[in-house]
Chains A and B, each alone.
Chain A
């Protein structure tokens, strides 16, 4: 019995919960609870503030990791076995279609949710000081998500995959000077083939997920360290000046470190001044609740809602699988994955402007947003034209994607989706 208690003690390493110290250690010593602050503001938990989009994105990522690892057990990343493995998943593997459907729909869902999450953060002005850099990390996470989805797109090795990646990587090759080389590095050759498949596989299952996990940790950590979630719009104070700024300490100010005879302090531990936070009044301080269970139960509900939604979709909607990839047979039109169809649409008008300049500017603009928009106010009334600008950006993207997806027929001609075009190849 003693041994069991010892083992248990070695795991939880805290005092009994009957003591106050034990109660606090329950949170402090637990890595999962420690990601959360001990207490959260009630208003920050409101669904209409964040729509829980960040959490949904994260949970979709968890679904993707879980189903992805299961799929790896059935997948050989070289042609044409890769395609045969897809067929085996469809016809032979127990619950194989369900597994693949979940992975597919969660992947599309993650692209959508990560984008919506970005929109929410923009519209609530939550990228503003002190959260500028977390926005930048978020943009990189968006790019990584697109990269993950794009690399995963090739793996089934069917016509859809083959030509989407051919078109997608061609768009990249329009970049001057380095475009061709980057494409060659990515594909391991001049066209999509065995080399490309193994490279995309490695990127998809190892490199990109590792990068996403790393950046997600930083992203979450910064949410906490930048003062928790931003305050909902409707709780903003009437006037600007909501931040407590760092005061430069007077030269004579003593180091804010309690002197100790027994310990030597490193420079990083010498703290002067205060970190910048949104100012919190005592009343607001009172309007908080413990993360556990209040925030936790909401997260748990979000997790289960996400999982059940994806499962329901997977039960009824099958992930597409076309014919075996055939480099000699180009579908007309050959389309990139849907989230790149806006780009492809632009490319169809101008390869250099649409394929290189526009996306590069888009990414740079996204990264620079918190540093360009120096207006400290988060209230919509104070930032009207910024909101309009961003709305135009979002709508333009959506319109281009819709045109590329539904309104482009053979030869990239403008064809409404309700008109059936008889294939010109025969």
Chain B
């Protein structure tokens, strides 16, 4: 017995040793080392000189990584994809092929996962491509990869990706914010979309959802907007580009400087000319912007764009939801803005400026920006189905002045309201008017009312 026990002890000790060796062997033979060896062989093939060839083959295996410290990302993709920056690897087989058409987006500066998705930290193929349990961002397929451009290029035109601009436009004009929050602004009937692009939702799912919300999400309160296939694709792109990671600011903080072209687009998009003028050309409500960059510091102007009320208490300028990059671009444009250019911008507007335009424009801006149009329609026509509400749909706002005073309407916007029921025993209608008093200032609400009153149609025949 005693002898046997000693033998068992030594046998087990030997087994422990074997297990350690097995674990070390397992650790020492990861798949990326095989890929690196294959790549070195590929590289050595082209070397005519035997010494260089030997030197190439003798390169020790090591993990390559791009650290994007500000984004908490570490991309180890180039550990296997060793040829992405090497044009001689243009025709090499994957995973070694050269990545063409990158422009300034060099992998060693930008990493890979910000565009492609996947698990940058992983060093095996399955894990890195992210189609594994518990990784929310698998690789994006070729059809949707361009959506990632929008993660940094948040405003203006992105060359080659018209879908993004279209998606953004649809989002802001179709009133999505009425139900969905984005960057803190919007309703809470639907889910917050601020980080929708970082969720594990397949692009195909999103696209189907936009075509018929109830097809992929049974019982969804989202109305069917009857989008075309192209529009659904555009919105999907826009959704995929939404992330709470400050990618744009991160990359601009390390290298990117936005130019004045982008700023000019914003100047038009945000209708600055309805209040401001450049050297006397434009509206006279706000100050002349000619030479404004020489009168004030960049910090002061930036603050003015973020929060006008803070710089000038009582300022009537709305706070625009502009990203740091966009603000820089706008200032870059103002540096070079001329009255001639302002004239050109004015002449391209659909109609001439009138004094009332300021309040109405601001109200319209708010009405769209805060998502009122999602339920009440871009032309205040209403009509979004709302089962068991009176009339079965969201009412039109074109005749509110028949039944309400302006003050009553303002009170409804401030406090919100549950829609009157068609059948009191029936279920609660999914859509309701939220309370806006914590989101909108009184001034905003007044402007919205002004805008509504400017659109009122003739009184209906009374009976």
Contacts and interface: CB of A to CB of B under 8 A. Distances in A.
Interface of A: 80, 84, 87-88, 90-92, 94-98, 158-159, 293-294, 297-298, 300-301, 304-305, 307-308, 311-312, 314-315, 321-323, 426
Interface in B1-35: 2, 5-6, 8-9, 12-13, 15-16, 19-20, 22-24, 26-28
Interface of B: 2, 5-6, 8-9, 12-13, 15-16, 19-20, 22-24, 26-28, 63, 72, 74, 76, 121-124, 127, 133-136, 216-217
B134 A159 contact: yes
A158 B136 CA distance: 12
Contact of A311 (B23, B28, B121): B23
A293 B1 CA distance: 12
Nearest to A99: B23
Contacts of B136: 323
Nearest to A96: B27
Contacts of A311: 16, 19-20, 23
Contacts of B16: 304, 307-308, 311
Contacts of A88: 121
Contacts of B22: 315
A305 to B, nearest CB: 6
| Residue in A92, A94, A96 with the greatest tally of chain B CB atoms within 10 Å | A92
In the A-B complex, the 6 residue pairs with the closest CB atoms: A304-B12, A311-B19, A87-B121, A322-B134, A98-B23, A95-B27
A198 to B, nearest CB: 19
B123 to A, nearest CB: 4
A95 B24 contact: yes
Contact of B5 (A84, A87, A94, A297): A297
B210 to A, nearest CB: 15
Contacts of B13: 304
Contacts of A96: 27
A308 B123 CA distance: 28
Given A311-B19, A322-B133, 11 more contacts: A91-B124, A94-B27, A304-B12, A308-B12, A308-B15, A308-B16, A311-B16, A315-B23, A315-B26, A321-B134, A323-B136
A80, A95, A159: residue with the most chain B Cβ atoms closer than 10 Å = A95
A90 B123 CA distance: 9
Contact of B217 (A80, A95, A312, A426): A426
B167 to A, nearest CB: 22
6 contacts: A92-B63, A94-B27, A95-B23, A294-B2, A311-B23, A323-B136
A308 B19 CA distance: 7
Contacts of B9: 297, 300-301, 304
Contacts of A84: 72, 74, 121
Contacts of A307: 12, 16
Nearest to B22: A315
Contacts of B134: 158-159, 321-323
A391 B26 CA distance: 44
A305 B11 CA distance: 10
A86 B26 CA distance: 18
Nearest to A88: B121
A307 B16 CA distance: 7
A163 to B, nearest CB: 13
B5 A301 contact: yes
Contacts of A305: 12
Contacts of B76: 91-92
Nearest to B8: A301
A297 B2 contact: yes
Contacts of B27: 94-98
Contacts of A297: 2, 5-6, 9
Contact of A323 (B23, B24, B124, B135): B135
A159 B216 CA distance: 26
A91 B135 contact: no
Contacts of A304: 9, 12-13, 15-16
B123 A314 contact: no
Contacts of A315: 19, 22-23, 26
B63 A98 contact: no
Contacts of B2: 293-294, 297
A90 to B, nearest CB: 8
A77 B13 CA distance: 35
